[in-house]
Structure 1
Amino acid sequence: MIQEKLAGLSSAEQFFETLGVPFEQQVVNVSRLHILKRFRELMRDLAPEAGEAECAAALAAAYAEFAEGRGAKTFKVFKDAMPAFVPLTDLRATSH
């Protein structure tokens, strides 16, 4: 069963290679954990007897969301992050 095989994998690249889903390393480097989390969510919706093709489609869908910039970064660290914008009026000169 493919789910048993997937349970033994540890890296995002192993999932892509095992399921034969093409990927760009740069996308995986930037969004690795988000892709895997979304893949896990999509896998929950599959029947327990889902085959390799369904699993590959779920991984491809998860990857596409982040490759296209549509993926939601759902980890707490991103939800709690401060905005990156700092207005110029908030900057003060310091003497060194």
Structure 2
Amino acid sequence: MEILMLALKRLSTAEEFLDFFAIEYQPAVVHVNRLHILQRFHQYLRQTPLAADSSEDEALNVCRKLLDRAYRDFVGSSAIKEKVFKVFRDAEGVKTVSVENIRAALPQRQKVA
């Protein structure tokens, strides 16, 4: 698995990862969602730990499947729907703060005589 890890460290763009794993992709989908695809791939990797004694082929196949899955998440969807990044998750609802909470957070005013 060491060789695979060294190879992956040299990759930086979503296109490089997809090409490395020989995954067919639509450039338009990747162009719009490249960071989201890589982040989702990272999330899938964290959820699917590889055994330390995994062979290079086993590790390569697992990574290929996870990256393909991450890419496919965005083929029929969008970054807004998938909510990979916190900014999209936070945008789901309107956040409100009460006037009382704002007042409580302000330092107390001292009356000047």
Shift of 1:82: 8.2
Consecutive unaligned residues in structure 2, runs of 5 or more: 94-113
C-alpha distance in 2, partners of 1:46/1:21? 21
Corresponding residue for 1:56? 64
Give the count of matched residue pairs.
83
| 1:1-96 paired onto structure 2 within 5 Å | 1-44=3-46, 45-47=48-50, 48=52, 49=54, 50-69=58-77, 72-81=82-91
The structure with more helix, counted as a fraction of residues = 2
Root mean square deviation, CA, Å: 2.2
Distance 1:74 1:43 in 2: 14
Q: Residue type matched to 2:42 in 1? A: R
Deviations, residues 26-78 of structure 1 (Å, cap 9, x unaligned): 00011111110010111221305342111111100000111121761222332
| 1:51 match: secondary structure | helix
Moved more, 27-36 or 45-54: 45-54
TM-score normalised per structure 2? 0.63
The structure with more radius of gyration? 2
Distance 2:19 2:31 in 1: 15
- Percent of pairs with identical residues: 35
Q: Which runs of 5+ in 1 are unaligned?
A: 84-96
| TM-score, normalised with respect to structure 1 | 0.72
